[in-house]
Structure 1
């Protein structure tokens, strides 16, 4: 059984990272489903939940107020989630007719704040943003134009990483791969989530948002899809972010995100059952299969080692190739110089980091049910 285990493991990894995109490319060529945008400027409520981001809040509100959108149709809701710095004071100072501050003394997490605020909103569209990123002036108009298509219920913007170098360049390469998949999903029907830094949804399609969620930017779009509407990508709606300051910071963020996938499966098992949710098969192609990849990689390494020890030159070669790839990834992870000058090293480092994070995320979720209480992340001069 050792030899079949090796090849099945390799096949599983290839299917997870290449098979699903290949299927989407074929689907796009045979049965495309383009978005038909048109100019639409409905009343929009912007929902910005912050925790200890007083140093970034004023700049973010100013960025939102500079959006190319009718001011009288845009209301910004700043929600303070148990802040212990000056964030609440800044929010109250910024409050005006079109900027409203809500301060919760107890820290409960982002989804609890969203769930409390949603019933109070009146706009046709809700725009969800984070405090760290800077939005392009036309971003909101691009999102509402996509939402004017009657088949579309949620529209996601595009996150652009500014000046990635070293390990961050490898992360950026993976992010570009991820965005390509999202565009393919959008062009053939629906994505399975949205970019948390910038997405919009029709308010009346958003289902209840419970407290304690890690990935509200998947829960909310999936509720829209459950109502029979599409989640689409809008390339012209851009949010700009800084590159992660170091590998450890990016890995902490990624582990938290991946633990959110386990939480979704725990809370909504039907997301893994074909036909039980409109996007369950796409979730397997895009999300759930990747949770299996770390274990498939470990199985491939162990089985090839056993076969090599039994005297197989072929599997000795395959084992050494894997070991070399892991060594290159570790060197790329630890050496900014190598990652900056040798693209295979930084891509390998990002791939290893992603899958190590996926393996550790399950334990993170089981050990820490309060992972939804995010920590403020500082990327250069910005914060969340």
Structure 2
């Protein structure tokens, strides 16, 4: 209950009764957009054109593209735009996103870093919306809103609903202090606060904000800064990405054990509640199902719990077999919940087996 309801309600209450508003101001610092890419030829031209077209003074924006062992024409496509504001770094060996970010930031000229991924489309005012938050001297990093489109199937609409639930939690965390993670598709930070990422880091969009918070500054969420991404229509499309992301949380604790120490991590309670306990959720649900089944004959409460879990599982299976049923809101929400917890369970196995998670 704490993971899925208690913590979100606590954050919402804190945001309402003890808000910490951000003192936004309009300013235009020098910004370097950082783009780490592996085999992104199909998207890189459109992405760079979108960055160059942002509603931001052209002379205050430059871009560093780091090609991570690309086997396609990513670098050539980036250079073909012929814009002096674009610098391309080519690395023959594939090392992972974190290594590319470290090298790209070392080449950055801007006071502010705009971190983004190659696939997502940004709204023209996204950068202005982000840097307005950095006008507050107490804010060190700010994340934008990732919105999903093209959700045709019941599963896709369920994932979209989950993501809207997630953004509500982030909004509450931001209004009451700091978020513990941002979307890698769109965030900005003060360059002076960037610390080189450990080799192989998967979740730079969690570790970087946590480092900013550890430095004593806030990490906030700006819903008006929007990046758009396509929806996964079926579980198989979402599976690989989600398992890798969830396994990255295990790796994060391995790379930065200080995150587990309340006296070193100022966002310890939020980190444990929002990230770590979600990894335990599928195992706790399994333990609940087994204990309720074994004790079903002892008390009506246990029997009702076992029947409720069985009915939920039956609804998910029926929704997969009957698309019309799967499109109904209760079923699609249950389906998304079921699959996301399944992916969380698989993430532990993925982390144990695959030490090369960073190779995206």
TM-score range relative to shorter protein = over 0.9
Aligned to 2:340: 354
**Aligned pair partner of 1:364 in 339, 345, 350:** 350
Shift of 1:177: 0.4
User: 1:306: how far off?
Assistant: 0.5
Rounded Cα–Cα distance in structure 2 between residues aligned with 1:125 and 1:252: 32
Report the CA distance between 1:239 and its aligned residue.
Answer: 0.5
Pairing of 1:208-223 with structure 2 (within 5 A): 208-223=196-211
Indicate whether 1:203 and 2:203 are aligned: no
Quick check: 1:115–1:211 contact (8 Å CA) kept in 2? no
Q: Does 1:99 align with 2:86?
A: yes
2:178 corresponds to: 190
Matches within 5 A, 1:58-207: 58-165=45-152, 166-207=154-195
Unaligned runs of 5+ in 1: 1-13, 375-384
Aligned to 2:276: 288
Q: Which has the higher contact order (CA 8 A, sep 6+)?
A: 1
Separation in 2 of the partners of 1:257 and 1:332? 26
Secondary structure of the residue aligned to 1:77 is: strand
CA distance in 1, matches of 2:243, 2:321: 19
Correspondence 1:28-43 to 2 at 5 A = 28-43=15-30
- Residue 378 of structure 1 is matched in structure 2 by none
Instruction: Report the CA distance shift for 1:333/1:274 in structure 2 as closer, same or farther (over 3 A).
Output: farther
Deviations 1:209-240 (A, max 9, x none): 12201101111111111111111001110001
- For the pair 1:55 / 2:55, whether they are aligned, the reply is no
CA distance in 2, matches of 1:264, 1:167: 29
Query: Structure 1 residues 331, 276: CA separation in 2 closer, same or farther (over 3 Å shift)?
Result: farther
Q: CA deviation at 1:88?
A: 2.2
Cα deviation digits, residues 34-87 of structure 1 (max 9, x gap): 111110110000001111110111111111111000001100111111111121
**TM-score, normalising length from structure 1?**
0.91
> 2:305 aligned with 1:307, yes or no?
no
Contact 2:3 2:274 in 1 (8 A): yes
Secondary structure of the equivalent of 1:58? Answer: helix
Q: 2:244 aligns with which of 256, 276, 285?
A: 256
Q: Deviations over 1:187-221 (max 9, x none)?
A: 00000011110000000011121220110111111
In structure 2, the gaps of 5 or more residues are none
Q: Which moved further from structure 2: 109-118 or 137-146?
A: 109-118
Tell me whether 1:22 sits opposite 2:9 in the alignment.
Answer: yes
**CA spacing shift, 1:237–1:299, aligned 2, 3 Å:** same
Choose from 273, 276, 282 the match for 2:261: 273
- Shift of the 199–345 alpha-carbon distance from structure 1 to 2, 3 Å rule, reads same
Counterpart Cα distance in 2 of 1:330 and 1:53: 36
Q: Separation in 2 of the partners of 1:117 and 1:334?
A: 47
Q: 2:329 aligns with which of 324, 332, 343?
A: 343
